[in-house]
Structure 1
């Protein structure tokens, strides 16, 4: 469906020159992770000292007590840990393998950047610990795990979830940070119903360690057409618009209770053809007009026509169900966002 016109903004698609027709060819590269995509933001000078929250900056590894294992993968394990002096709970990523000094320094610099991220809808990255040759990353703990496999047919609840994702993306994009791997397994929730974006990929090592669905095939499922097929959009990739596509696919998957493309995630060749050559998936006719239009605004094949996070936060699907729009006496059923009880492989 044709989406509503977005709120006026400088440099909007309406003011841009008409682009020439896309090249018809489709390239299908092997699904291998591009290391350049693992660090989606400029890095500070290597001489800059790390800055961590004062509450954990002086944290001693010996003060951490492993409570339970949250998840594991070929490259490492995530633990729920207790900081005994304060009684606070964290998630600790332990990354296996021997890493060169250059990789360790890169991780420290990236942790420094992510340590400065402070938003209610973004998982906090607190510290990096180099213990006995192991790289360990201390993260905010989300007690209800990821939203992977969650079915949310209730539109007000889905609107609240979408609003929280967009608030996190708006904050990141405003700070020139692109996530590049938005998908249900990277969206975490706690018992208060707060949804947070996780797993930026602290170095390509950290990005590939924990999540068994974080393989190149799993990631391709949520990639935008122009990222898979570099012939589209004249080889230019807008990471911000790519995050919006991935968010739209994820939100539609929550509503449907299944992946919105007709092909399975495991058939990567068919999946890439479906993403790049077929029409974008749409919300079903049984859903509200607002939701159908919201999804259409996210899943435009032309990245210049996708709404930004800022614009989507003003979309009727979001504003009609916002807490202030429902009235102060109406309590939102945040428990409807909680995923079913099951073991999870969340990173934080």
Structure 2
């Protein structure tokens, strides 16, 4: 049907009152290539108001042609069905679009494509080629025109998958491109794009707050990417992608292909597929991991004993121990705990299994030597117990065991090393004393008991045992007076202590009548007392000190009552009076002046001296610690001055220490008790204590050798050390041993502000070798003066 016939059909529908069908017919006419104006003219001519015929249209077309209106003329010829004439006129008018429409109407696809391409309607041109069956040419046309997506679809239809894939990739359609690369068997490119799309999809899902691996589409992408990597010969990459999405079996197989069997096995382990993991570990030659995986499989199956054996074989000792323990296989569990380094638990389970010696060895390996020792004692292995106590530093316990074993030399060696600050020191000293007595070494026993009393002299009273042992030694040495003195002291502490009261009574009964007492040095009990006691101001080894008034000279004095041991021994009393007379001859501003000595109305021996209104150096140091340098220099030079004056008169103090140095309110230093220390110490030494104060005692004094002015210089060094640092050179441990053998910490290490030269002076005073110690106090004073000037 030509355009004119179509127009007639349109008009018939209009006349029939069917406008809808008429409208559809108009669309068909227009689609057939008839221009709207031409159609309207036809309609007008066939309308009731007009007329017209094909002849009239042809005349009009010719008229338009004569006017050069080729396009309009061509449309009329097309309406008349004269297509060749229409095409010629369209060509002359350059109306490529209208020409393409006409060729399309005529189903001349190739000509229509050329006309559309000339009209720059590329997609219409390509569509014509495709309708004509030339899809590949259509694709090329679209690609040249930059129409990537339509071109890609065309290439895909043409079976050119690689070309289509590249265009889809350029257009951002990665998944479709990847699928086409797969069809083209370009596996590497397909793998890359599937994985890239997978990662992008993951990010999109994460941005939405979802879990990507729960989405089927995402999972499929991972599967496709992994499979392409496998085909591309990259199983390692395939395994990585499979793993990311949780495809364990696929990932494991890929790892196996990649030669990474261990990674595959680890994946199976992570998924609880222990049997598969075990097979892989076996395949790669890792028996320990194989056994470990098999053990887990056995655990899952409830076969605990076999699981434990496998865990042990794979060196998973702690897990093996735990499983054996669940099975109540205590000894085997203990072995595993020991192998795992948990010796504490191993020991507990060895005990539970009744393997005491193994438990002890476990404790020993854990360095729990004391616990091991106690267990060895339970196992009746005293020698091993002693060795363990020794390793634990429990020297007394070790020594006690050796004593019980009769190995006294080893017992003595260990007990002598017990620190004087140790809780075991008392028991060790008592045991040592008894061992010495058993061996007939009474002097050594006395020395040990005396050291014990000296070390614990500041402790609360109530420990009479050392005194009791000393009294027994006195009896063995035929010294009833010494024994009686000690027994009476014990009874004064504890009236019912053992048989001390009875022993004292027996000694008194056996004693001969005492000789008449010598007359006192001055005064008489019948005379009125010269001194009025005002207040007790101190008490120490030298006796009790009171503040008193001299009623004759009307002055305040220090009134010291000496210990009973002095007055009860006539020879010592005479020595005391002699020393007192010598001390009274000293007249120096830094030495306390001795005024008088004698007996009071009760027979007590006293000595009166200058009263110093102030405090002792000990009290000051206890309060402030290290002294500032100016105060240090002031006190040190005054001590040296007083001590040097006494040494110049061949008088040795023997007990220089802060408690024997007074500081008056006007900052004067006063040294007390010159010469008296020797008398009091001699009275007590063979009974209850060593001679001197161990914190300040010179080495030669400890050894019982002759003391001289250099011994005072050592004690001075201890005093200066405390003034400079706030502490003594030796404060804990076996003080006697340390004064004899241990070098003191340099004072400057404790007080960095101390001048180096002063550090040197103090250490030289403390030299254990007298040949290296200062020879005289004047040299100490001169060196201190130099440091003071430099400071």
- Same fold, TM exceeding 0.5? yes
CA contact (8 A) 1:281 1:299 kept: no
Match of 1:282 among 740, 743, 746: 746
Shift of 1:216: 4.0
Q: Does 1:146 align with 2:620?
A: no
Q: Does 1:165 align with 2:635?
A: no
Q: For 1:96 and 1:276, locate their aligned partners in 2 and report how far apart those are by CA, in whole Å.
A: 30
Shift of 1:252: 0.9
Question: Larger deviation: 99-108 or 79-88?
Answer: 99-108
Q: Does 1:111 align with 2:580?
A: yes
Partner residue of 2:592?
Answer: 123
Q: For 1:245 and 1:100, locate their aligned partners in 2 and report how far apart those are by CA, in whole Å.
A: 31
Shift of 1:138: 0.6
Greater C-alpha Rg: 2
Name the CA shift for 1:158/1:73 in 2 (closer, same or farther; >3 Å): closer
Structure that is richer in helix per residue: 2
Q: For 1:195 and 1:61, locate their aligned partners in 2 and report how far apart those are by CA, in whole Å.
A: 34
CA contact (8 A) 1:160 1:321 kept: no
Partner residue of 2:652?
Answer: 178
Q: State the TM-score, normalizing by the size of structure 1.
A: 0.65
Q: For 2:700 and 2:570, locate their aligned partners in 1 and report how far apart those are by CA, in whole Å.
A: 35
Partner residue of 2:770?
Answer: 303
Name the CA shift for 1:129/1:196 in 2 (closer, same or farther; >3 Å): same
Partner residue of 2:714?
Answer: 245
Structure 1, residues 163-199: CA drift from partner, whole Å, max 9, x if none? 1111111111111111111111111111111112212
The RMSD of aligned alpha carbons is 3.3
Question: Larger deviation: 162-171 or 140-149?
Answer: 140-149
Superposed, 1:1-348 pairs within 5 Å as 29-30=447-448, 31=450, 62-72=529-539, 76-95=543-562, 97=564, 98-132=567-601, 133-149=603-619, 150=621, 151-202=625-676, 206=680, 216=690, 219-229=693-703, 237-261=706-730, 263-264=731-732, 267=733, 270-285=734-749, 286=752, 287-307=754-774, 308-315=776-783, 317-321=784-788
Q: State the TM-score, normalizing by the size of structure 2.
A: 0.30
Give the number of equivalent residue pairs.
260
CA contact (8 A) 2:612 2:662 kept: yes
Q: For 1:281 and 1:202, locate their aligned partners in 2 and report how far apart those are by CA, in whole Å.
A: 31
Shift of 1:61: 6.2
Name the CA shift for 1:130/1:242 in 2 (closer, same or farther; >3 Å): same
Name the CA shift for 1:295/1:189 in 2 (closer, same or farther; >3 Å): same
Secondary structure of the residue aligned to 1:148 is helix
Name the CA shift for 1:319/1:107 in 2 (closer, same or farther; >3 Å): same
What are the ranges of 5 or more consecutive residues in structure 2 without an aligned counterpart?
1-416, 418-443, 455-520
Q: For 2:700 and 2:579, locate their aligned partners in 1 and report how far apart those are by CA, in whole Å.
A: 27
Structure that is richer in strand per residue: 1
Question: Larger deviation: 151-160 or 67-76?
Answer: 67-76
Name the CA shift for 1:172/1:217 in 2 (closer, same or farther; >3 Å): closer
What are the ranges of 5 or more consecutive residues in structure 1 without an aligned counterpart?
1-25, 34-49, 53-59, 231-235, 327-348
